[in-house]
Structure 1
Amino acid sequence: MTFKTLLKAAVAVAILAGAAAPAFAAQKSAVVSVPASTVDAAGRKVAAWQLAHMDNFDYVPVTSFRKDTEAPRDWVQAAFYVGLYTFADATQDPYLTNAILQHGQAEQWGYDHRPRHADADATGAVWVWAAQRTKDASKLIPTRERFDAVLANPSTVSLDFEPKPAKGDPYCQARWCWSDAIFMAPPVWTALSKATGDKRYLAHADSEFWATHDYLFDKADHLYFRDSRFITRRGENGHKIFWGRGNGWAFAGIARILQDLPANHPSRARYEQVFKQMAARIVTLQGEEGYWPVSLLEPQKTPETSGTGFFVYGLAWGVNHGLLPRAKYGPAIDKGWKALDAAVEPDGRLGWVQRIGAAPDQVGRHDTQLYGVGAFLLAASEVRNLGRMTSSSQGQAKR
């Protein structure tokens, strides 16, 4: 069976699978005022649309980095598959799981031509998941070879984003010198350390994360500048420029790091502190309709679902894992999830996703991208778990 055929089969089953949701899904969530089964159905619908379009990306304008979208080992598809495997695990959906494994097999668990770039590292999260899911350590061979080469010769280049060759990426992208990289790379290194028991990977991730954090995190606003070019730049109203999706990448990335970070790790308290600081700031910036602005300190102009998806995911993850109080953050999660759901077209296409970029930009209703779908599925995975957690606590209270 070809990868394309499998995806088509997964799509058909995913659309119908909502009726087979686990028993707890019918319970009401104390945070989101819709049945958790509805959250599942929305996730399956969006996943189905995207899987059905993995062999043709004509819906992405050529001028909007279509080649990046088509690249099966780059960050655009990696972000989608991270969301998909998280949702597949949450719903125990074998068809979605098989679609991801088939993708990995087609790519031979490998990487693109860039030996040390966070955007290229990102797909490693999918390969680590697949190796653990199938209990097949051989799937990790390309990842370990890639990361071992970095450990053998770590980069010490400046994190300044400006210097670059005549052609190619800025020199600093040999390290994690932009906020997006917090989602792309350190969660992979942390997960690989957990999967293999090799502490060197975590030590590298921890050291490089804090170098990036100390360089780009604004201590007053508790948000990340996208990269060094934005530290002194100001927007139309004189405000600092904090990109919505850029901070969504970072916030979701920290949640993913914490997911696999040992409970007794020396840096854990510091990660949790940054996560809580960001959460407290993020909820104050949500728009009336539930979306977050493309530029967080500027007025809301249009919906935007990729940053919103990552924020809803992170906030719900924090509540589910006891780091954020439900009473304080529940309303923002509720409003954010309803906004995301409202952006889904009848056929399952997710709209209002800001196109590939490096800063706040315009967004249209028909703009969609794989990373936006990945963010939506991450959010759905945690929002449904809020309902699951509520059902469990209610059952214990009745005993």
Structure 2
Amino acid sequence: MNKNTILGIVCLASSMTLIENGSLYAQSKDADLKNWPKGTSPREIGTKVAEHFNVTPHTNFNRTTPPKVITYPETCTWYGALTFAKESKNKQLAEKLQKRFEPLFGEEAKMIPVPDHVDYSVFGSVPLELYMQTKDKRYLDMGIAIADKQWGPPEGPRVKPESHEFYNQGYTWQTRLWIDDMFMITALQAQAYRATGDQKYIDRAAKEMVFYLDKLQRPNGLFYHAPDVPYYWGRGDGWMAVGMAELLRSVPKSNPNYDRIMKGYKVMMASLLKYQAEDGMWRQLIDHPESWAETSCTGMFTFAMITGVKNGWLDKEVYGKSARKAWLKVITYINENNDITEVCEGTNKKDSLQYYLDRKRNIGDLHGQAPILWCATALLR
């Protein structure tokens, strides 16, 4: 083989490599979770939504009356704003969010919810995040007291007979087998583990998650709103998706429940791919194309996929593309006041298809603001 032939082969191989790389680059642009068009970056969007939250008074599910205690949508948004401030290295924002908390040590102390229910106990994730960012022991003491109470003996007006049964089996007495719980419970316990390094907190959360997975996950990877309500309600499934992703960020691979949780997570993510609309959104009822595009569940599923891609649990091309498309679309629902629109109102369970289709579509509801901040955080991690 002469030199000219060898040179020709090398040139041909180089050209093919360039073509292949060009093709790969075109694909990876669709799955790129780092570079964004102006005005759509997680830093820009997260800053606007977090700053808006910080000046928003304590809210009560979009009702006109103020809440008696801080409700879980505010907790979830506060947690998201704090993690965003950390990942974006925005010290000024972090200080504002810390200042928002300070009255709870004094004149607003009555606003701290009594941790006798999952929706109230999740509040502990906020002081625990503040402790990790500031090392102020007041936050640690408050958050750990709530986390320990969740696994303490059943106590309070909300205790039901089955609470003792769950407690005696090593589960929290707040167990009720609603899919919402798998963010509310695991977020608090994972935060307690992150703040203290004490293995018992993450072990609790992992065991609880497997209990819910075994009881509630359907063969297609999704979850009915409740065992007696056979509908795949978007935000309900969103709590499971976020709960698993948040938990898997901290559960050691050596944990005996790690593989089971990862399996449940991956099956769910694969199923969600099939139901994502062409524009990137998911719907109020996941498997009903006639139902409306809903922002809170879209944000939640997007967070779960971003987290999976960033941690190497999910294929970066397949799920990166899905997450990028969802992020770019869901942020178009943020209006000029930095409120996200098309958020399903707070929803109890009911065995009625029409009930879910007819749920009110809120504007600025913190159920929807929180997932935007979680996504912005995850994109910056």
Instruction: Mark yes or no: TM-score above 0.5.
Output: yes
**Matching residue's letter, 1:52:** V
Cα 1:36–1:269 shift into 2, 3 Å:
farther
Task: Write the distance in 2 (CA, Å) between the matches of 1:156 and 1:366.
Answer: 33
Q: Is the 8 A contact 2:298 2:330 kept in 1?
A: yes
Cα 1:113–1:370 shift into 2, 3 Å:
closer
**Count of residue correspondences:** 330
Q: Does 2:85 match 1:104? A: no
Unaligned runs of at least 5 residues, structure 1: 1-27, 160-171, 234-240, 386-399
Alignment equivalent of 1:368, drawn from 355, 358, 364: 364
**Matching residue's letter, 1:382:** A
Q: Does 2:322 match 1:321? A: no
Cα 1:98–1:371 shift into 2, 3 Å:
farther
Hey, what does 1:228 align to over in structure 2?
227
Unaligned runs of at least 5 residues, structure 2: 1-28, 164-171, 350-355
Q: CA deviation at 1:265?
A: 1.8
Q: Is the 8 A contact 1:319 1:326 kept in 2?
A: yes
Hey, what does 1:178 align to over in structure 2?
178
Deviation digits for residues 281-321 of structure 1 (CA, Å, limit 9, x no counterpart): 11111112221111111114322110000111110110001
Q: CA deviation at 1:369?
A: 0.9
Hey, what does 1:380 align to over in structure 2?
376
Hey, what does 2:243 align to over in structure 1?
253
Task: Write the distance in 2 (CA, Å) between the matches of 1:146 and 1:333.
Answer: 34
Cα 1:59–1:259 shift into 2, 3 Å:
closer
Q: Tell me the TM-score normalised to structure 2 length.
A: 0.78
Task: Write the distance in 2 (CA, Å) between the matches of 1:58 and 1:138.
Answer: 26
Cα 1:243–1:365 shift into 2, 3 Å:
closer
Q: Is the 8 A contact 1:176 1:182 kept in 2?
A: no
Cα 1:217–1:158 shift into 2, 3 Å:
farther
Hey, what does 1:277 align to over in structure 2?
267
Cα 1:316–1:242 shift into 2, 3 Å:
same
Hey, what does 2:90 align to over in structure 1?
93
Hey, what does 2:132 align to over in structure 1?
132
SS in 1 for 2:369: helix
Task: Write the distance in 1 (CA, Å) between the matches of 2:44 and 2:150.
Answer: 42
CA RMSD, aligned part only?
A: 2.8
Alignment equivalent of 1:307, drawn from 297, 302, 306: 297
Q: Is the 8 A contact 1:71 1:77 kept in 2?
A: no
Alignment equivalent of 1:50, drawn from 39, 43, 53: 53
Q: Is the 8 A contact 2:206 2:247 kept in 1?
A: no
**Matching residue's letter, 1:104:** F
Hey, what does 1:60 align to over in structure 2?
62
**Matching residue's letter, 1:186:** T
Q: Is the 8 A contact 2:296 2:367 kept in 1?
A: yes
Task: Write the distance in 2 (CA, Å) between the matches of 1:340 and 1:53.
Answer: 21
Structure 1 range deviating more: 147-156 or 298-307: 147-156
Sequence identity percentage:
24
Task: Write the distance in 2 (CA, Å) between the matches of 1:209 and 1:186.
Answer: 7
**Matching residue's letter, 2:71:** D
Q: CA deviation at 1:137?
A: 3.0
Cα 1:336–1:142 shift into 2, 3 Å:
same
Task: Write the distance in 1 (CA, Å) between the matches of 2:111 and 2:248.
Answer: 25
Q: CA deviation at 1:340?
A: 1.1
**Matching residue's letter, 1:95:** Q
Q: Is the 8 A contact 2:244 2:265 kept in 1?
A: yes
Q: Does 2:145 match 1:145? A: yes
Hey, what does 1:349 align to over in structure 2?
339
Cα 1:149–1:60 shift into 2, 3 Å:
closer
Deviation digits for residues 249-284 of structure 1 (CA, Å, limit 9, x no counterpart): 110111111122223222212221111111101111
Q: Is the 8 A contact 2:303 2:371 kept in 1?
A: yes
Hey, what does 1:20 align to over in structure 2?
none
Task: Write the distance in 1 (CA, Å) between the matches of 2:299 and 2:181.
Answer: 17
